[in-house]
Amino acid sequence: MNSIAKAATFNAPNIDQSDLYDREFHEWLKSNPGGTFSQYSVQDIVNKLKQGGKHHTLGAKLHGVEWSKSGLPFYKRLRRLADTPRYARICDYGCGSLRIGVHYIKQHNAGCYYGLDVTRDFIDQGVELAGDILHKRRAQVGTISQDLEKAVKFDADLLFAANLVSHVHPEEIETFYANIKRIVHRPNGVILLHVVEHPFMVRYQKSGWAWPLDFFDKKMQPFQRVETDFLRYFHKAGYFMNGYILVYKRPSASVSLTKNMAHFAKDKYREHKYRRKLQLQARTQD
């Protein structure tokens, strides 16, 4: 069973059928016992895309904008919030069809991108759309169920989760936060979470949950929130909510002295290697 499935499984007989938003999910569980909401909801979208449907973020056919351009504004915003050097390692958690990830792949050094998602269906579409840049830049992609450990070893400096946190079912929340904090285990590692805020938890659509900001802070401990970037305000299902990107940093004091020193040495080496590469490039241009 994958790490998401392990987090929470539902038993069809215990279901509260009055929950309007979960009615179809509960039907699906009858033929997929032990399945999770994320598996169900991903399958639902995969089926719609296969029938030629459009989506705001997934697949090749996006609402009103070309795939190659659609992730650019979000990418720029993330970069403004965390201006990482080109040799920084980036994990795109819930990467979907790579519409944001492709810009990191283009801008960062080879081997510096790892995209993870629940399903290969969305990733494969992104791989096709991105063309040979993935291969050239040695970008890695995989599923959370199979590749989580590889992503932990990747030793990300920064992880971002865009258009995802609000879709995580409450029963899968523990796994979600545990996974992202495992991936960013280095001191001063950064996590950028795109969230929807409301003063108390609300479910505003079938796959949409808003939580208070201090809920995210608690789940992210020992990470500390260092910036709160307001995106927009919106109104849905009778609730007034705010979209934010929350910037969290892992305090160096939360990891051992040995690990701090090891990472310090690793960072110095990476920086040195990058500078040497630039010098060599400059020399060959002369």
Ligand X SMILES: C[S@@+](CC[C@H](N)C(=O)[O-])C[C@H]1O[C@@H](n2cnc3c(N)ncnc32)[C@H](O)[C@@H]1O
Residues 255, 187 contacting (CB under 8 angstroms): yes
C-alpha to C-alpha distance for 38 and 135, rounded to whole angstroms: 29
For the bound state, the minimum distance from the C-beta of residue 94 to ligand X, rounded and expressed in Å, comes to 3
Site mask for ligand X (CB under 6 A), range 143-182, x = bound: -x-----------------xxx--xx---x---x------
The β-bridge partners of 225 are 248
Residues 195, 164 contacting (CB under 8 angstroms): no
Site mask for ligand X (CB under 6 A), range 16-45, x = bound: ----------------------x---x---
- Out of 49, 58, 62, 91, point to the residue binding ligand X (CB under 6 A): 58
Site mask for ligand X (CB under 6 A), range 109-128, x = bound: --------xxx--x------
Determine how many CB atoms are found less than 10 A away from the CB of residue 165: 24
User: What is the token pair recorded at 253?
Assistant: 């004091």
Residues 67, 129 contacting (CB under 8 angstroms): yes
For the bound state, the minimum distance from the C-beta of residue 280 to ligand X, rounded and expressed in Å, comes to 35
For the bound state, the minimum distance from the C-beta of residue 258 to ligand X, rounded and expressed in Å, comes to 31
Residues 95, 101 contacting (CB under 8 angstroms): yes
Lookup result for tokens 């579409």: 125
At position 156, the amino acid (one-letter code) is A
For the bound state, the minimum distance from the C-beta of residue 76 to ligand X, rounded and expressed in Å, comes to 14
Q: Whose Cβ is closer to ligand X: residue 100's or residue 139's?
A: 100
List of residues contacting ligand X (CB under 6 A) = 4, 38, 42, 57-58, 71, 94-96, 99-100, 117-119, 122, 144, 162-164, 167-168, 172, 176
